[in-house]
A and B are shown apart, each in its own frame.
Chain A
Amino acid sequence: MTKTKLAILIFFSSLFLGGYNYSPGDSFKTAFPSEDFLNMKGIAVSHVIKNSSDSLSDNKIVELQDENGLTIWFGRYFYKDICITGICRMVKLWIFWDGVGNYLGIQLDEKEPLTKSDHTPFEPQDYIRLDEILGDTVSILKELQYEDLVIEDGPQPNIDDIPEKDLFEVDGYSSATLPSLKEYVIKDAVFTCYTLWHTVYGETKVNIDDILKGRIDSNYLNKLLNGSENQKLFALEIIRQNSSFFFEFNSQLLPLIASQNKNISEKALSVVTPQYLSNSENQLRFIELMDHSLPETKYEIIYKLQLIDNISTDAIILLIDKYATGKISAGGLNQIFKIISKQIVTNKNILNNNEIESRLVQLSKHSDPYTANLTKNFLKSTR
């Protein structure tokens, strides 16, 4: 793959993207979900796909970058044959991916809308559905072969007429292709859905992933961590897979654990390593994140600590205090005791620590009988 960087800030639509006979212009207005990708501002970079298996479509991936060098989108112009029983029709459109390789949208010439098998143009709601289907990374279309597709013009059996045994579901994928597909795809456009889905997740995506992989370094990760939600998630996944980055970036990523965005919070938690948590200072820092975390994140923090062999007495004290002050609800007390139990195995004296002992004794006299009983029984079980 080669790339050419056009280092000028431009309106992308004013560019002539060489290599094919189409100059994106005003006619490319129909975009989904709603962005006019081709008129976005940025720096255009093109990447040539070598040995493309798609000889009809343009052999370049175009990338639009912002001023920091982060990708706004990747796009490719496609010519696609949609064939039904040997009769094909050509579809021309742009497909876009975001800066981490997720499907972003399509854009096509308003004079050449997508059409169905009965030659009627797609309705607005069809485009919305198509956009949802193309964004579905685990689509039912993934495992299907072209031959599996149903000719929709034929009679459709009623789902209730299909024997129960033929309707079974295994691992979320139904073998009852026909009725499931009917409900899933756009009516009279199953081949279009199929072809475009496999285009979105085909060789172009593989090339985009390779482009992104080639950029991974500290500088790039730093930019991603300050980028959009998807870019943060992408960066976190890279760090999760390559823990050597964790220590370099932990001050940036730990606050992400307390994010109110569940996806980011979960992903940020997944990168925290046991080595990091084996340090007592880090344990305290980690527990303090609870104060501003989502409720489910608080418990994930506790579960992480349950896996650690050496939790400091200060960390245990802090956890008990979080419970006593209502930062952790009644549902969490049992989980805190599991942490203490694990530590007792290697350090029997932990309960002789005055500060821990006095706090537990206080909890055992708590006005709420659940807290009091659970603590009493815990203390009894440890003696």
Chain B
Amino acid sequence: MRKFIAIVLTALIIHSVNAKSLTSLFIEAESFQNKGGWVVDQQFMDLMGSSYLMAHGLGTPVSDATTTVNFAKTGEYTVFVRTYNWTSPWTTKEGPGRFQLTVNGRALNNKILGTKSNTWEWQEVGKVKINSKTVTIGLRDLTGFNGRCDAIYFTMDNVLPPNEPEALTAFRKEKLGLPEVVPNAGKFDFVVVGGGVAGTAAALTAARQGLKVALIQDRPVLGGNNSSEVRVHLGGRINLDPYPKLGDVVNEIAPLRGGNAQPGDYYEDEKKLEMVNAENNISLFLNFRAFKVEKEGTTIRTVFAKHIETAEELSFSAPLFADCTGDGTIGYLAGADFAMGRESKAEFNEATAPEEADKMTMGSSVQWYSKEGDKSSDFPEFNYGIDFNETNAQKVTMGEWTWETGMNFDQISDFERVRDYGMLVVYSNWSYLKNKSSFKEEYKNKYLDWVAYIAGKRESRRLIGDMVLTEQDITDFVIYPDASAPTSWTIDLHYPDPKNTKHFPGAEFKSIAVHKTIHPYPIPYRCFYSRNVDNLFMAGRNISVTHVALGTVRVMRTTGMMGEVVGMAASVAAKNKTNPRGVYQKHLDKLQRLMTVGAGKYNIENIQNYNLGGTLGPKKINLQIPPYDKD
């Protein structure tokens, strides 16, 4: 990997006095030099304007986050903190995420934060006398229950910072002293946004074909849902007809062991990272989240990304882009056509589709597990609007994919609530098991060891390509000339668990799966590029499929192979100076040659034997790809 040497706006700059304002100081919490036990959460930047720090202590207060700042002037300041009560959608009680702001180690006015407001807002902490220009600011968690802080503002003018999103964005930029002209990150042939399995495979494949690639990922690790942060294992099969070499790259980055919600090292984050680092043609931008695009006509010219800790912005220009964000963020920002929710039966004549279209999607999972300790342990009483009792409590010690929330909520605009509900039910249920249940003796020594705070999302936007893959393409085994990466998982659609609905109507947190088994089916390449943004590929769950067809293509060995195809197609496009559609129209034979050869490099034996999923087996006819006539 080419070492990323960008213009780094260091914490020093951020925390230095804003030249334009000698009477105020703005501090992004996520930029704290020492984060203690607090975690950086960037998942909702597009909703509430920033990443933030969160005290994810599973009911035990985490250690203080601290940072040293320099004031231009000593004197009395009014202090504001941007926060809110994350349980407010479910209760009117004061929230559990209590924390304090400290100045030189002392809690400011003993003010308890994180308990009020049902939306992100600036809250006054009080006044403080700053006697020395260099001061240590801190966040002191009091509960371990996900108190959160976006930013802190010291002002001598006693002016409340703006809450309105656009004004707040401008305010941040000004206060942080970010340059008007965003620095360019480098010269690239291909920019891949999203470092999940699909994006990582796309970047590796394109780089191995000789393209200069930028890979942008909004977390410190690669792998997305398959990373140690989410812990969903890979699913589906690789190395299938008609292009058995597809999957070789997936095999190289794949964890050797399977299982959902297992210990973090099962997911081998470092293997994915070092596979990427091993490619000189890839420049890896970890912790950068794309938030804006610039277009010329129907072509994306530049993608802008922001560092999730320092707020530093970089621009990425290239002839070709791949949206591997899962949410189809780049396509959405570029005005690409997209679908979200379930199509009606009439729209594509799908047997499994509902009669009427609706907004329902599959949900997101906040996975968790407990461990057995040597001695008994306490867990605080936790009851914030969702009551558990003997009949509805989940008598379990872990929760994996079936702990799924938000199917009837918008998986993008309501996502913070969706994720928070996932955590809320884990804590509420656990509190009941530990403190009140008739079987609490069995749980005496058990303690929560891991609860995800990065939610594993299954479905949101699906960007529309030149072809939309439907259920009957797969079940009728309709093979197209541009057949490419195979999908082998069942058509696996999730619904709220009726047993859970009985106890929690409209607030389900458990799901069931309905499966329709298929023959492994090669997805047409035309599902992998946007129909109305000329230079945008897609790989991952945001490709061009119906809701029903998403049920099979969404598992990660399959999305990884999509990435391989997109990486190959990008190289064909770059070498022939065309766009994704041009590859289909004029150069499909070249893509087919690359898919035949594959992009594996390390000759690693395929021992991907876990979570392959049941199939009907290879279709008992020769898989004939219809002839390709470029004219």
Q: Give A residues with C-beta under 8 Å from B.
A: 160, 164-165, 167-170, 295-296, 299, 303, 329-332, 334-335, 338, 368-370, 372-374, 377
Give the interface segment out of B120-128, B270-278, B302-310, B432-440: B270-278
Query: In the complex, what distance in Å separates the CA atom of A295 from the CA atom of B604?
Result: 10
Query: In the complex, what distance in Å separates the CA atom of A295 from the CA atom of B603?
Result: 12
Q: Among residues 481 to 501 in chain B, which have CB atoms less than 8 Å away from a CB atom of chain A?
A: 493, 495, 497-498
Contact with A along B264-284 (1 / 0, CB 8 A): 010010110011011110000
Contact, CB under 8 Å: B498 / A373: no
Contact, CB under 8 Å: B514 / A167: yes
Query: In the complex, what distance in Å separates the CA atom of A377 from the CA atom of B269?
Result: 13
Contact, CB under 8 Å: B514 / A330: no
Given contacts A369-B277, A373-B274, A374-B271, 18 further A-B contacts (CB under 8 A): A168-B495, A169-B512, A295-B607, A296-B609, A329-B603, A330-B252, A330-B602, A330-B603, A330-B604, A331-B251, A331-B256, A331-B605, A332-B256, A334-B271, A369-B278, A369-B279, A369-B280, A370-B602
Contacts of A369 on B, CB cut-off 8 Å? 277-280
Q: Does B111 contact A (CB under 8 A)?
A: no
12 A-B pairs within 8 Å (CB atoms) are namely A165-B498, A167-B514, A168-B497, A168-B513, A169-B512, A169-B513, A329-B605, A331-B251, A331-B256, A338-B265, A374-B271, A374-B274
Query: In the complex, what distance in Å separates the CA atom of A299 from the CA atom of B254?
Result: 14
Contact with A along B187-216 (1 / 0, CB 8 A): 000000000000000000000000000000
Contacts of A329 on B, CB cut-off 8 Å? 602-605
Q: Which residue of A164, A168, A377 is within 8 Å of B274 (Cβ)? A: A377
- If over half of A's interface residues share one DSSP class (helix, strand or loop), that class is named, otherwise mixed; here it is helix
Query: In the complex, what distance in Å separates the CA atom of A329 from the CA atom of B256?
Result: 12
Q: Does B515 contact A (CB under 8 A)?
A: yes
Q: Give B residues with C-beta under 8 Å from A.
A: 251-252, 256-257, 265, 268, 270-271, 274-275, 277-280, 351-352, 493, 495, 497-498, 512-515, 602-605, 607, 609
Contacts of A377 on B, CB cut-off 8 Å? 270, 274
Contacts of B605 on A, CB cut-off 8 Å? 295, 329, 331
Contact, CB under 8 Å: A370 / B275: yes
With A165-B495, A168-B495, A338-B265: A331-B257 Cβ-Cβ less than 8 Å:
no
Query: In chain A, what residue has the closest Cβ to B251?
Result: A331
The 9 tightest CB contacts between A and B, nearest first, are A168-B512, A369-B278, A370-B278, A295-B605, A330-B602, A296-B607, A374-B274, A331-B604, A329-B604
Contact, CB under 8 Å: B602 / A368: yes
Write the nearest CB–CB distance from B428 to chain A, whole angstroms. Answer: 23
Contacts of B515 on A, CB cut-off 8 Å? 169
Write the nearest CB–CB distance from A95 to chain B, whole angstroms. Answer: 29
Write the nearest CB–CB distance from A121 to chain B, whole angstroms. Answer: 29
Write the nearest CB–CB distance from A230 to chain B, whole angstroms. Answer: 22
Contacts of B256 on A, CB cut-off 8 Å? 299, 331-332, 335
Contact, CB under 8 Å: B252 / A374: no
Contacts of B271 on A, CB cut-off 8 Å? 331, 334, 374
Query: In the complex, what distance in Å separates the CA atom of A334 from the CA atom of B256?
Result: 10
Write the nearest CB–CB distance from B475 to chain A, whole angstroms. Answer: 11
Query: In the complex, what distance in Å separates the CA atom of A373 from the CA atom of B274?
Result: 7
Query: In the complex, what distance in Å separates the CA atom of A193 from the CA atom of B604?
Result: 45
Write the nearest CB–CB distance from B572 to chain A, whole angstroms. Answer: 25
Q: Which residue of A160, A332, A374 is within 8 Å of B270 (Cβ)? A: A374
Q: Which residue of A160, A167, A332 is within 8 Å of B351 (Cβ)? A: A160
Contacts of A168 on B, CB cut-off 8 Å? 495, 497-498, 512-514
Query: In the complex, what distance in Å separates the CA atom of A369 from the CA atom of B351?
Result: 50
Contact, CB under 8 Å: A164 / B277: no
Contact, CB under 8 Å: B270 / A164: no
Contacts of A332 on B, CB cut-off 8 Å? 256
Query: In chain A, what residue has the closest Cβ to B253?
Result: A331
Contact, CB under 8 Å: B257 / A303: yes
Write the nearest CB–CB distance from B276 to chain A, whole angstroms. Answer: 10
Write the nearest CB–CB distance from A303 to chain B, whole angstroms. Answer: 7
Query: In the complex, what distance in Å separates the CA atom of A338 from the CA atom of B264?
Result: 13
Contacts of B514 on A, CB cut-off 8 Å? 164, 167-169
Write the nearest CB–CB distance from B489 to chain A, whole angstroms. Answer: 14
Write the nearest CB–CB distance from A109 to chain B, whole angstroms. Answer: 36
Q: Which residue of B252, B277, B493 is within 8 Å of A331 (Cβ)? A: B252
Query: In the complex, what distance in Å separates the CA atom of A167 from the CA atom of B516?
Result: 11
Write the nearest CB–CB distance from B203 to chain A, whole angstroms. Answer: 15
Write the nearest CB–CB distance from B464 to chain A, whole angstroms. Answer: 25
Write the nearest CB–CB distance from B45 to chain A, whole angstroms. Answer: 29
Query: In the complex, what distance in Å separates the CA atom of A251 from the CA atom of B515?
Result: 46
Write the nearest CB–CB distance from B609 to chain A, whole angstroms. Answer: 6
Contacts of A296 on B, CB cut-off 8 Å? 607, 609
Query: In the complex, what distance in Å separates the CA atom of A338 from the CA atom of B255?
Result: 14
Contacts of B280 on A, CB cut-off 8 Å? 369
Write the nearest CB–CB distance from A312 to chain B, whole angstroms. Answer: 23
Write the nearest CB–CB distance from A186 to chain B, whole angstroms. Answer: 20
Query: In the complex, what distance in Å separates the CA atom of A303 from the CA atom of B513?
Result: 32
Contact, CB under 8 Å: B495 / A164: yes
Query: In chain B, what residue has the closest Cβ to A297?
Result: B607
Contacts of B352 on A, CB cut-off 8 Å? 164
Contacts of B513 on A, CB cut-off 8 Å? 168-169
Write the nearest CB–CB distance from A259 to chain B, whole angstroms. Answer: 16
Query: In the complex, what distance in Å separates the CA atom of A377 from the CA atom of B276?
Result: 14
Query: In the complex, what distance in Å separates the CA atom of A169 from the CA atom of B493?
Result: 11
Contacts of B603 on A, CB cut-off 8 Å? 329-330
Write the nearest CB–CB distance from A166 to chain B, whole angstroms. Answer: 9
Contacts of A334 on B, CB cut-off 8 Å? 268, 270-271, 274
Contact, CB under 8 Å: A299 / B607: yes
Query: In the complex, what distance in Å separates the CA atom of A242 from the CA atom of B268?
Result: 34
Q: Which residue of B277, B351, B609 is within 8 Å of A373 (Cβ)? A: B277
Query: In the complex, what distance in Å separates the CA atom of A48 from the CA atom of B64?
Result: 73
Query: In the complex, what distance in Å separates the CA atom of A20 from the CA atom of B279?
Result: 76
Query: In chain A, what residue has the closest Cβ to B269?
Result: A334
Write the nearest CB–CB distance from B551 to chain A, whole angstroms. Answer: 12
Write the nearest CB–CB distance from B444 to chain A, whole angstroms. Answer: 26
Query: In the complex, what distance in Å separates the CA atom of A5 from the CA atom of B251?
Result: 56
> Which has the most chain A C-beta neighbours within 10 Å: B277, B351, B495?
B277
Query: In the complex, what distance in Å separates the CA atom of A164 from the CA atom of B252?
Result: 38
Contacts of B607 on A, CB cut-off 8 Å? 295-296, 299, 331
Query: In the complex, what distance in Å separates the CA atom of A377 from the CA atom of B278?
Result: 12
Write the nearest CB–CB distance from B132 to chain A, whole angstroms. Answer: 36
Query: In the complex, what distance in Å separates the CA atom of A352 from the CA atom of B161?
Result: 56
Write the nearest CB–CB distance from A329 to chain B, whole angstroms. Answer: 5
Query: In the complex, what distance in Å separates the CA atom of A167 from the CA atom of B492?
Result: 12
Query: In the complex, what distance in Å separates the CA atom of A296 from the CA atom of B497?
Result: 36
Query: In chain B, what residue has the closest Cβ to A381?
Result: B270
Q: Which residue of B278, B493, B497, B609 is within 8 Å of A368 (Cβ)? A: B278
Query: In chain B, what residue has the closest Cβ to A341?
Result: B265
Contacts of A331 on B, CB cut-off 8 Å? 251-252, 256, 271, 602, 604-605, 607
Contacts of A299 on B, CB cut-off 8 Å? 256, 607
Query: In chain B, what residue has the closest Cβ to A330?
Result: B602
Write the nearest CB–CB distance from B214 to chain A, whole angstroms. Answer: 18
Query: In the complex, what distance in Å separates the CA atom of A368 from the CA atom of B498?
Result: 53
Write the nearest CB–CB distance from B499 to chain A, whole angstroms. Answer: 9
Query: In the complex, what distance in Å separates the CA atom of A330 from the CA atom of B352?
Result: 43
Contacts of B275 on A, CB cut-off 8 Å? 370
> Which has the most chain B C-beta neighbours within 10 Å: A295, A303, A370?
A370
Write the nearest CB–CB distance from B560 to chain A, whole angstroms. Answer: 15
Write the nearest CB–CB distance from B282 to chain A, whole angstroms. Answer: 11
Contacts of B609 on A, CB cut-off 8 Å? 296
Contacts of B277 on A, CB cut-off 8 Å? 369-370, 373
Query: In chain B, what residue has the closest Cβ to A294?
Result: B607
Contacts of A338 on B, CB cut-off 8 Å? 265
Contacts of A330 on B, CB cut-off 8 Å? 252, 602-604
Contacts of A374 on B, CB cut-off 8 Å? 270-271, 274
Query: In chain B, what residue has the closest Cβ to A335?
Result: B256
Contact, CB under 8 Å: A370 / B274: yes
Query: In the complex, what distance in Å separates the CA atom of A374 from the CA atom of B607?
Result: 21
Contacts of B270 on A, CB cut-off 8 Å? 334, 374, 377
